[in-house]
Structures are given as C-alpha cells and as structure tokens.
Structure 1
Amino acid sequence: MRDQEAHDKDYMDLLGRFLRGDREEALGGVADLARELAASKASPEALLSMHARSINKAVETLDRAGAERAESAASELLVRGMSSFAAHLRDIADRLEHEKKKAEWEQALLLVELENRKEAEKQIRQAVKWDALGILAGGIAHAFNNMLAIIMGNAELALDEAEDNTGIRHNLGQIFDAAKRGRDLIRHILALTLKTGQCTKVLHLGALLEELFKSLHNSVPSTIDMRLSIYEGPDMVQGDPYYLRHLLFSLCTNAIQSMNHAEGKLEVSLTEGNIPLSAPADGIKPGRCLVLTVKDTGGGIDRETQELIFDPFFTTREPGQGFGMGLAVAYAIVRAHRGTITVDSEPGKGSVFTVFLPRYEEAAEPK
C-alpha cells in the first residue's frame, strides 16, 4: 500500500492541474488513485482514513493558496451502511472576475453620480447667489446712476463756464472722468441683473466674432498671434447684440491681458457641440448648441482662483487696474442667454474658456 505522504503529494499534483485548467486529466488522475487504493489489501477503514486526510490537506492548501479562484468542500457520508468521504472542487475564476468587474463598474458609476451631484449643487448655489445679487445690485445701481448723471451734468456746465482757468478746468475734468468711470461700473453692475429671456434678437454669432477680431487687431501687440476659426454650419443665436459683443470682448481682452504683452497665441473658435449635462437647471437644456472657445497661452489659473473667477469684484490684478467685473459680467451675459461657461486651466499652461449657447432653432421661446 502507498504511504500517506506519496498519496498527499499525488492529490496536490492533481489539484494543481485542476487549477491550471487541465480538468479532465485531473479527474482521470483521481479515478486512477481510487482504483489503485481499491486494489490494495488495506482495510476499508485505513483506505478511508488515507483518502480523507489527502482530501482535507488539499482543501486546506486550496483555502490558503487557491481561494482566489476556486471553492471546495469535503464531508463524510454514510453510503449503504458504510462510511465514505466526498469532496468537490469548483473553479470560480470566471465568476470572481465577473464580480470584480461588476464591483469596479458600480464604484465608477457611484463616483460619477457623486461628482454630478456635487456639480449640480454648486450650480444651484451659484444661481441662488446671482439671483440675490441681481436684486441688490439693480436697486443700488439705479440710485447711483441718477447721482452720477447729476454730477456729470453739473461738471459739464462748470467746464463751459470755467473758460481759460486751467486749474479749475483740470479739477472739473477729473471729476467728470471719475464720474464716467463710475457710470461704466454701474453698467457692469446692471449687466448682473440680466434675466433669462430678456435677449430676443436673432443674430449671427460668427459675424460678431469677425467684427470683433477686426477691431482687436488694431490694439493687440504684434507679439500676440491671433487666430479665428468659424465653422460653416448654422451660427444664429437669440440674444442682445450689445451684450454678446461685450461677452466676446471681455473674454478676448482677458486672454490678451493674461499674456502680459509677451509673445503668445490667442485662438478663438466657433463650432457646434452639446451643452454639458452638468449645466445649471435655470432654463438651460442639454442638447445641440454653439460652442465658443477662447484659448490663450498666458500664465494659467490655479484651482482655487477658478472657484472665484466669475465672482463680482474678484481680481488678481493690482489695485486700480480694473474693477474685477469683466468675467462676472461675462458669466451673467451667458446665463441670460440660456447658456453656460466653463474654464479649464493650469498654472503655466494657459487657459481655455468655453461658452455653450443654444442655437436659435433650439432656443426656448421667450416668455
């Protein structure tokens, strides 16, 4: 009769073949072992004990080393009044791989859902903030506008009466210029109060871009390479020409200023695409739209600044170099035209501002 160690070794060898995929060969080997044991002169109890020990050892080894791809079980049975021993070994590699991929897919879906929910909550907070800001800004701006009109009117009258008094004319001129800057600021603030549906004229966005580029060429440093690309498809939008020109001008001048008069490239393109699913829900519907992209090779924007870049009066420039209203007004204009705007940037790698505006044939009818 074979010794226990040799029997255990044979079982382990058969187990290895089974796990490598040689199942028929492994099962045939088990049958051969059973026939060999049956032909021996050992007592049934001794044969059962040897067989049970080998199977148990194989199962224990499987639990330690092979549990990642197989499952096993062993039990003692009573067959026709005689003790017997049964075991099964099942390769579950395919099932485990399927379960692993399923878990990874569910985790990925959960992460996407969390990101979408986070973005949606952010957009809702932004919309609520802008609604409240618009109400406040509208009331204050109109009151200050009336005051500035009185100041500018009286300054003009005083300038006419000052005649050749250089000192007085200089002082009055400073008052008048300061009032004009205040009036410009009020116009920016009033732009924050634009409501969705106020802009109803149908116009060609591509034509506005070409007009803007012609005017910018006269003021942009020659060190900056300006490129414009407009696709040949439908480019009509429903909007206000004044505010859309202001939007295009703000985005382009912001890009030019980010390059700080050094060598750089400004690329503006108009194509068609899809409004992102993460767009805020205040009248903006996902679907086909016009996509305006303004790309520069400036210094770029860090993540913290991107979170604040569309807030009114936020600026990274030195005091006296701007009100910090350019991008805030751009955001308000885009929102009033049922669109959305995004920024993609990294420090040292430039910035890309993308505006999504519904095409005219897909724009909702104004109320």
Structure 2
Amino acid sequence: MVALQALESKVLDAISQERELQDILDIVTHAVDGFIPDVVSSILLVKNGRLWHGSAPKHPQDYIQALNGVSIGEGFGSCGTSAARQQPVIVTDMITDPLWAPFQDIVDLIDARACWSTPVIGATGKVLATFGIYSHQPQPPTEEQLATINHICQFVRVAIERTQQREAARQVEQQLQVSQRREAIVKLTGGLAHDFNNLLTVILSNAGQLAEELAEGSEHKEMALDVKRAARRGADLIRNLLSFSRQQLLQPKPVHVNTLLTGMQTLAERVLDSRITLNLALNANPATIMVDPAQLENAVLNLVLNARDAIQNSGTVTLRTRTVNPHNAALPRHLPPDATYLLLEVQDDGQGIAPDAQEHIFDPFYTTKNVGNGSGLGLSMVDGFVKQSKGGVTVTSALTQGTTIGLYFPVMADAATAPGATSEIKTPPTGTGKILVVEDEPAVQVTLVRQLQKLGYEVLAASNGHEGLLELQRHPDIDLLLTDMMMPGGMDGQQLAALARRQKPNIRVVLSSGYSHKLAKDQDRTAEGYWLLPKPYLRVDLATLLKKALSEDPKPL
C-alpha cells in the first residue's frame, strides 16, 4: 500500500510538471516491476485499432518491435484480446493458450509464462491502452494483485488523458497563432497592394501612352517600353503576395497547358542549372483549362525552384501532364467528383520531405530551408492560386525518394482556342459617352481623366462617394460610373454603385480596385452585373472594358 501511494504521488507530480507521456509511463512500469514480485510490466497504447509501444523497460527490444503495431482483436495475445473485449484477459500459460498461438515465435524472446492484461479505459469509454503483467511462473494473479493492477490502470488513464488534453490545447494554440499571423499578413498585404497598385496604375498608363505615341524604333520608345515592362513585373509581385491568402483578382483565360509548359522550358532549364535535367512528359491529348496563365507560370516556377533546392547533386525534374477523373485516380478530397481534371505534376528525385513537415508545407512562412534561402511563401502562393482556380494540390514524398507535387485543374468542357502571342503595343479602341470617375488618389484620378479624354469620352471627376452622388444628381445623362472600390468617407465603391443604380437604373458600372477582399472571388463581373477592372491596368485594357460595358445593356435591378 505504501509503495502504491508513493507511485501515485510520483505520477501526479510528473503530470503536474507536464512531463512527456513516455516518462510518466516509465515511472509506472519501473515501480510495478519493483513492488510486485517475480513479474515484469508493459504498457501498450491503443491507436487506430493497433497496439503501440508505450513502456516496457525490462522487455528485449526484439520483443517490443515484434508487438509494435499489432492489431487489436480476438486471438491477438492477451493485450490485443483485452483491448477488443474491453475487459481483463488472464492467460496463465502463454505456451499452451490459443490466444498466444500466433505469437509462439516471439514468446521465447522473454522469460515469462503468464500474461495478465487489463484495458485502460478512458472517461468516454474508449480503450486508451493495455497494462500487461508478465509472470515468470504459469499462474494467475492473486486478488490483491488484481486490485493493485486496477488501481494502477487509473494512474495510467489520467496520465494519457491529461497528455491528450495538453496536446489538443497545444494544437489549438498553434492553429490560433497561424490564423492570427495569416490575418495580420492579409491586412498588411491588402493595404500594400492597394497603395502600390495605385502607383503602378499611374506608371503603366503613362508609360503605355508614351510607347504608343513615340516614333517606332526610337530610343525613347524603348525606354517607355522598359518602364512599362518593369511596372507589369511589379504588378505580378503584388499579385503573388496576395495569392497565398487567395485574395488576388485572377484573370483566367483558356490555356493549353502543354503549350504553356513547352514555352517556358528554356526558362525552367536556366532556373535548374546544368547539374539537373529537365524532362517534359506531356499528355498526347492536351486538355484546355480556364486559368490565369501568368499565375500558372509563377506556380510552376515556384515548384521547379523547390525541386532544384531539394536535389543536392545531380538529378532530374519532370513536368508531367495527364487528364484524370475519379475512375482512374484518387482526387483531392474537396474536389467535385463528377468532373475531369488536368493533373500537372512537378516531380523531383531529391531528398524528399519529412512526414512531420508535409502537413505544414503550405503554411505561410513555413520553410525547411536555411535562413536567407527561402521565405516560406512559395508553396502558400501555389496552394492559394490553385484553390482559387477551383482546383486542388497533392503532395507525395518520402525521405531520400523525392517529391511529387500535383496540381489539379478542371478541364474545360468546350475548349476554346487559347490566346497566342500578341504584339506588345495595341491600339486602344476609342468611344463616346459621359463617364463619371470617382477616385480618391489624386495622381490616379488625373491620369485616368486624361486617358479617358484622349479616348474620346466626356469626363467628370469626384474624390469620394458622397461627391460622386452629387455629380450623378447634377448630371443625369452620365452613361457609366467608373469608381475605385476602397475610398475614405464611409462609402466604398460598391455602396456608391448600388445607390447610383437606384438613382439611374440604366447606368453602367465599372469597379476598379488595387485590392478588395469583397471582389477577390469575382472574375469579370459581380453578381450585380458590375464590371471589374483590377489595378494596375494598361490603357488598352481600360479602353476595351469601357467599350464592352457601354455596348451592353445593364443587368436589371
């Protein structure tokens, strides 16, 4: 009794100190082996219908490994049967008892004849573990020993349940920290995107106009085109920054993936360097998908870069495409099963990803690379873009066996012709009509008014929603409202648009945004029929959208 009380005190102290479960279980088995004569003890944890090593300090390692992972069920030794029956199982002779018949080859590994197993049952009625006592003699336990075993099982139950509760609380805390970090990043990137895209809108618009008006072949024209290209790369960077939280406004087009991959082969080979071979294993019957081609290129390059970093010496990276469906492949769980998908795989024969890291690789800022060699945003961006494109991502990896990342995209039912290469300079279409521009950023407003006037439109301007409403009242002949989404003064662009449509039901509305979470899930138009123009944009994009919006009847209220 004194020994049992001392054990109870030690176990409770260890639990209060939040020691590891393995340590607590070792305290129990060491103590039991000391105060119950002529026995050795063992604790096996029950997880997913199997027995797993918990503590057995006096058992040989070969015996522990042989039992590790054994199924619970009738006839699976004393412990497997005890867990299945949820009641004690007393085997007085392991050599002759049929419950041990499947394990005769390992009975000889231990110096024991009897095995008394008792299930450790949790508060919810679930079996958490089994507590086994191995006696050197072929005999049953005494009543006193059974009472002691039952008492010890309560210590084990408390230790396991407290550990599980602590682990669950730790996981919740980690998830909360990730959620809070993501929320903070979303707010930060959203604000940055709005401000930077306003600046890039001014740069792109003016550089584009200069490139159109300067003489062909002149040095100044090339300088204007360089500015335009740099601004577009800046816009891509902002979109990448938003993509991991699935906030960017995508610009999907019909894309032949095989053509896109072939077109970027040279770039991918430069990224990989000479020690790594790039293979293209493309489906002979290429499918067309509706996707943002620039974002798809960025996603593939991100994965190629990761593959390069995973290959320590020489190796191979393979880009593979094929069409799959629920009948010939296992799809990501969240994808609708009644569809056909284009599977784009990026496979490497590098060092692989550890199992405990695989569940975190899509978390923002998670990286296994050395400090300074990775931001931890690449795979987050890929995951966000693919899921926003109504697709899914899978990871197959094993240490030293390489990694395969699979991107799934819905195949277009009626494949349209994917756009080919176009000239860098397009002539924007002109138009007529009266347009109200509502934009709080002065530089953007001035640039926009000038651009629209050059395109042939009559233009009015306002700096916020309230000023815009006044202009609408003063000028009932306004044909189109072009408004920024995020504005000061308590009224955003969508609220202004709703009030404008009530006042004038046939007015066309174009919403422009450097960033808006309200519009992030929309593509060309909102549910209300408003057209969307993501910043930054080229003058030709602006002119084309306005022409299209003015040529169609507005959606009825």
Q: Structure 2 length as normaliser, TM-score?
A: 0.34
> Higher Cα Rg: structure 1 or 2?
1
Greater share of residues in helix:
1
Q: Pick 1 or 2: higher relative contact order, CA cutoff 8 A, min separation 6.
A: 1
